[in-house]
Structures are given as structure tokens and as C-alpha cells.
Chains A and B, each alone.
Chain A
């Protein structure tokens, strides 16, 4: 009877998106055996000790527990009504995925008929549907904002494969190397294997890319760029484990887990369904302040680098952007600001938001086209860029 109830309860939690596997169900049964069923708070504490992974899950767990202890049947029905959207993994997305799927399944298409609105751009495209070098070249210079949708698709594919934009940092952990510090243990192992010879082995401090935290502005003014940058970030997340992504417009949302999906379309759709403020206004100051408060300490440990992708146009009259940015500066190892507005040669930091952010970043770079994304990767991977020189020369041309 108890077993049945626990299995049932675990199912409810699973449908609410918590990873409660059979191992936890077994552990839960033993736990209940130990604490007994006399006290409701003991049962609650026991089950949450066994079934939770993160503090954030406690709210869902509490709600489910309350309802379940009142009436298990009712709860399941409620969940069924409320949760079909978050339930199965991936099934929700099938309809919208068909876009790309349909494209893949369709017979090879003839070159696109020229689009009357964008004649010149499409003429160039219609010569070859394959992705030639020259086209890539041209595409790389085009501003995201003025790209046709076909060009944009191609740009997305390139963006997926651009390299990680940060310099590896030296860790305290060592790895085997050709020269460096003598590794006695390993040398001894070699000697034990071949007592006649003495071949020393060495280690050196490991170099690895630090944790990368991406803060991406998805407000109205950033829309086109944000799409492409998300593809870029998805590519990074797939290739490097330690990339955390938060997007902000009027509020801050952590979409790291969504972006872990292999498929870019599924990943972005997952992210989409999580984010509620696409193309809305921007409240940079309050979002940065919230990041400082709830995420900075959790994500910015161990020499993390922070990529801030925003145009710096703040519509927040409440917050103190300079203060939030200064606080951010103190917790991140390096802050790189990618600004699409830098495409204008005469860009001057006039907007109040830009002026507040600028003194608190290490690097300030344009990202309005693919070439600059690639440049960015190159620039950031070469160490020793003096922040001071950049601060004096904020109008990057």
C-alpha cells in the first residue's frame, strides 16, 4: 500500500519535471520504513531528503506533497489537466519542429523564386544553392538586421560552429606533459615496469577554458541579433560543458538547461517557451541587480568570464545601472560586452545606459555581423588586450 503510494507520488513529481528515478523510489520506501508514518512532517522531511536535488524544487515538491496527502487521485487528475505542456520530453515541440523536418524530407527544391521585396540580395543567392566561399564571404559582412531570411538561415549555421571566445585559464590541477614538473609517482611506475631504464615523466598545470556566463538581451531592439547570438551560444553550450546562459528583457531567465538539447531548433524552442519577455522592453539595471543577487555567486566562481550581449539601451528608470555593473565587475573575472550598435562607425557612448556600463567592462566589441563574431572569437582568444586602452577608445571602428 505504501509502496504503491510512493510510486504514484514519484510519478506525479516526474510529470512535474523532476528527475525522480526508480532508485529514488526505492530509497524513499526505505526512508519511510525508517521514520514511520506517525508524523506528517517527518514523512515530508524524509521524502524531500531523498527526492530533491536542488533547493528550487522544494516549492513544487511541497505543493505536490500537500495535494497528494489529501487525495492522490485528485492530484493526478489535476496534474494531468495542468501539466500536459511540461510533461513528455520533446513531444510538445513536434508541430513546430516540422519546419526543418519538412525541409529535409522535401524533394530537392529548385532555387528560390526571387523575392520582390529583396530583389538584389536574392539574385545573388539564386546562382547557387550550395554554400560557396564567396557567398560566405559576402554574408559575413552583411548586417544581421538587413539579411534576408535565407541568408539568416545560413548565418545561423555558421554561428553554431564559431569557436569559444575566451582565453583558457591556468588551473591548479596538473596534467601529463612532455616537460614541466617531475611526476614521481608516474616515473616510479615506469621504472617498476622497466627497471633497467629511467624515463622521467612530467606534469604541468592544466589550461582549460573557464566557465562562460552569457547574459543576453532579448528586448525589442535586440531581436534579430538575439536570435543569431542564441544560435551561437547553443553551439558553444553543445561543445563546452561549462556555458551558462541567462536572457533578459524585463526579467531574467536562466535557459541553460534548454540549450543543452542537441538539436538547435528544439533547444531554441525550449528556450522560447521558457522566456516570456521576447521583444519587450529592457530593464538592464534591475536584471543585472537580480543576477548579482541570485546568480553571481553560483555561476561566477572559479575565474568565470562573462559575456554581456546588449545594446545598452536601458529603459529602466528605477534601477541604478552603474551600481549594478560595478558590483558585477567585482564578481566576474572578465567581462566582455558585445554590442551590435557598434556597427555605426561614429558610435559614441551617449546613451546613459552605455555610459554606465562602459567603465565596468574589460572589452567592448561589435557583433553586428558574422565577420565580427569571428573577429570576436579571435580577439578574445589572444590574451593581453589592455582594458585601459579600450576604455580610452570606446568607439571601436
Chain B
């Protein structure tokens, strides 16, 4: 990896342009939040429905800045050993045996030296959070689905997020060489503690507008007929207004378009929609609701607007 300094975008428009190089379509509000997060060196906290491109943003940012992406995928019970660092206990044990064999622990000084070498930097196994602090060039640190981790983990993150450092009791404090750009995502399956949010910039990622979603789907799911794109996006946008348990995200729209292309669909018709609903909706209740009349209603609406011949 080259260690030339990163060139950060110097305006909101530059952020939009930067992300566009990696085919990420980003609305101006999100771009502003990201721009500020880069400029003020504050973590960006993204909350929103699943499938609106939160994780994708971090990946795109890393790719666009040509820097490393370090990812912590959260789950319950996640602890320091899995996310930050771990002592290489096996090596420590060997070290002790070697010292004993060499009769190096006879006196007080020898023991002191051994204890010191046991907790040397080389004995640390670095996990993503610590790695994020030791890169020569600022990486993108993605803490994905933080809501899945339990509350104690939030508290542990505070030091990393606010001070860009990790304190290891046996060793000391590791401070960031080049502070990472941190992006935290959450699907809101629980409320994240205020103390953590306070240290971040907050952005709620909403479903995109019709024009933006069209742009995204055209970029991410190439190969469909132009008319089909319009029909798909209009259909999904209308669907989100229905009273669904889980409205489809952009990721689902892209998947659906790909599915339709794979099935050689030229235009939406009730039978195809019926067969492929599972790509868009992930709850049986929602699928039943759509199949029992709502699909026909939505298609009629499209027809009324002359989008469907």
C-alpha cells in the first residue's frame, strides 16, 4: 500500500463527485454529513431501514479514497478480544518456558525483565479496532450494525471514537497514527446510548426519491429495458407507501431488477410480480397482503399513468 497522504474532498460537491467515481449515488444531505465527518474528524452515525446503502457507503468511501477498509461486524457478546486486541497467550507461555530453561528468572531483575517482555507490543494480536489505529494512512473503519452488539460494547467504543485511542491495561495507551474515518451503522433494533451518539454526527438514511432510485438501479442493475426501470422503481416507490411490516429497501429494488432481467421480463405483469415478490418482501404477511389484491391495484395505478402498456 502506498503511504502518500490522502486527498480529502474539500466541498460537499466534491464528496458527491468522489462517491460517483465508485458508482454510489448519494443525496446532498448525506454528502454534507459525510463531508463534515471527514473534515471535523468525527465518526458518522448512520441509522435507517435495512437496504438503503449504509454499509455500502463505507465500502465505497474506502475504495474511492484508495485506503483500507476495516470492518467490525457486531453481534451479541462481542468483546475486546474479538474487536480490538488479544494477548498472544501461546507465545507468552513459550516465552516463560524459554526464560525458565535459560535460568533467566532466578533473581528479581530477571523476573522483571520477563514480565516486561511478556507484555511487549509484539505479543499483541491486533484486531480491527486496534488495526484501525495503527495504519500508516487513515483507513475507513466500519462498525456495522452496532445495534446487534450489547450495551457494554457501546461503552467500550467511546474511547476509540472520541479520542482515537485504546488503553490496554498491561501495555499502555495506543494512540492513532492516522485517525481512521469511522462509519457506524445501525438498523435501530435497539436504541444506541446517547453518550455514543453525542460523539458522532447523526444521519438518518431515508429511502431515496424516485429520480435518485432510478439512477441507482440503472447503475447497479444494468441490462434491463429502459421502460422496465421506470416501472420497477415506480412500483417499489408505491409499495413503500402501503402499510407493510417491512418496506423493501434499495438493495431489494436492485435484486428485483436483476431477477426480472434474469427472467427476460420486458414489462411488469401480475404473474411475474406474483412469482418474484419474495425478492422484494421478506415477511409472509406482506407477501400475502400484496398477492391478495394490492399488486393489481399498484399495476393499475401504473397503467393509469401510462407507464405500463
Contact = CB atoms under 8 A, between A and B. Distances in A.
A53 B193 CA distance: 10
Given A23-B198, A298-B191, A41 B150 contact: no
Interface majority SS on A: helix, strand, loop or mixed? helix
A53 B37 CA distance: 15
Contacts of A174: 77, 79
Interface in B145-168: 147-148, 150-152
A27 B42 CA distance: 10
B202 interface: yes
A19 to B, nearest CB: 7
Given A55-B204, A184-B89, A298-B188, A191 B96 contact: yes
A52 B202 CA distance: 6
Given A171-B76, A172-B76, A298-B190, A35 B245 contact: no
A50 B42 CA distance: 10
Interface residues of B, number: 50
A188 B118 contact: yes
A337 B147 CA distance: 28
B203 interface: yes
Contacts of A52: 202, 204
Interface in B179-237: 187-191, 194, 197-198, 201-204
Interface stretch (B27-35, B253-261, B265-273): B27-35
A149 interface: no
- Size category of the A interface is 35 or more
With a 10 A CB-CB cut-off, give which of B32, B119, B190, B203 has the most chain A CB atoms.
Answer: B32
A211 B191 CA distance: 12
Contacts of B79: 173-174
A389 interface: no
A325 interface: no
Interface string B16-55: 0000000000001100110111011010000100000000
Interface string A231-269: 000000000010000000000000000000000000000
B89 A185 contact: yes
A112 interface: no
Contacts of B29: 41, 44-45, 48
A276 to B, nearest CB: 23
Contacts of A241: 151
Contact of A46 (B32, B81, B92, B198): B32
Contacts of A301: 147-148, 189-190
Contacts of B189: 297-298, 301
A52 B119 CA distance: 42
Contact of B203 (A42, A49, A173, A299): A49
Interface string A167-210: 00001111000000000110011011001000000000000000
Contacts of B188: 297-298
19 contacts: A19-B194, A23-B198, A31-B36, A31-B40, A35-B36, A41-B28, A45-B32, A45-B33, A49-B33, A49-B37, A52-B204, A172-B76, A192-B118, A195-B111, A211-B190, A298-B189, A298-B191, A301-B190, A302-B190
Interface of B: 12, 28-29, 32-33, 35-37, 39-40, 42, 47, 75-77, 79, 81, 86-87, 89, 92-93, 96, 105, 111, 114-115, 118-119, 147-148, 150-152, 170, 187-191, 194, 197-198, 201-204, 243, 245, 285
Interface of A: 19, 21, 23-24, 27, 30-31, 34-35, 41-42, 44-46, 48-50, 52-55, 58, 171-174, 184-185, 188-189, 191-192, 195, 211, 241, 292-293, 297-299, 301-302, 323, 327
